[in-house]
Amino acid sequence: MAKVPVSVVIIAKNEEENMDACILSVKGWADEVVLVNDNSTDRTVAISAGHGAVILNRTMDNEGIHRNWAAAQAKHEWVLYLDADERVTPELRQEIDSILPTTTHVVFSIPFRTYIGTYWVNHSGWYPGSKTRLVRKSLFRYEEAPVHPRVFYDGTCGHLTKDVIHYGYPDLAHFLASLNRQTSLEAQKWVDTGRKMTMLVGFWRPADRFFRSYIGKGGWKSGFMGFVIAFFAFLYQMMSYIKYYEIVRGIKPPPEK
């Protein structure tokens, strides 16, 4: 059975420490690797070019728009989205090769095995933490949202069983830095979409996220790290609400787009 060609699209900015391992996880398997470079000033582009990747340059303005544009540049109908800190396992490559030739689905979700440093977060709702990343680009699009865009597609979604490895955070300090950036975008998204966030909701959502992560999704099984992750889920919602409050009350100007 002939293998269906896949374009791998990698979105990156200043990811020289990750590019080798990311591209090597798909090199020789993917028919095309496309790097969408967001104004990198390190060796991200040089490393990617050295592996034969197609290099495209575009400033990240809005995550959903950026991802839609990236897929449109790929030469194949089937696109696998990757971030630079993600790795495709050999088992996942084999699974994709076995499924694509006969599938009627238009997208597939993929389990993500996420690490903080060397710690695999296998509870708290983080695993399998499946994401829709393998798509038929003509039948798929991201919501044009600046953070956590939803996915829309014309057809059905299949579910793969083998993992993408996600080395998301070298340590907890990087996790907190990412949380700070993401909550600024989340607050602005609430403002831009006209969402009304009352004080009651602003305090209820953080508590709900904590108990959902720690109790409902089994974070307690991971001991202290499970508590930390649940607390960060609490903090994400609380910080988003505080930043939203700053913007709508005029305490702080909205971030530059």
Cα Rg of the chain, angstroms: 19
State the span(s) of the chain assigned CATH 3.90.550.10: 6-169
Span 71-113, pLDDT tens digits: 999 999 999 999 999 999 999 999 999 999 999 999 999 999 9
pLDDT given for residue 255 in this prediction: 56
Mean pLDDT, consecutive 10-residue segments, the chain of 257 residues?
Answer: 85 96 96 96 97 96 94 96 96 96 97 92 89 97 89 97 93 90 89 86 91 92 91 93 89 58
Task: Name residues whose C-beta falls within 8 Å of residue 161's C-beta, 6 or more positions apart in sequence.
Answer: 95, 111
Looking at residue 211, what is its pLDDT? 93
DSSP conformational letter for 249: T
Helix, strand, coil percent values for the chain (each to nearest 5): 45, 25, 35
Domain 6-169, what fold?
A: Spore Coat Polysaccharide Biosynthesis Protein SpsA; Chain A (3.90.550)
pLDDT digits (tens, 9 = 90+) for 213-240: 999 999 898 889 999 999 999 999 999 9
CA distances from 256 to 69, 144, 171, 238 (A): 21, 17, 28, 22
pLDDT for the residue numbered 148: 84
Quick one: pLDDT at residue 257? 52
Q: What is the pLDDT of residue 185?
A: 87
Angle made by CA atoms 97, 21, 233, in degrees to the nearest 5? 90
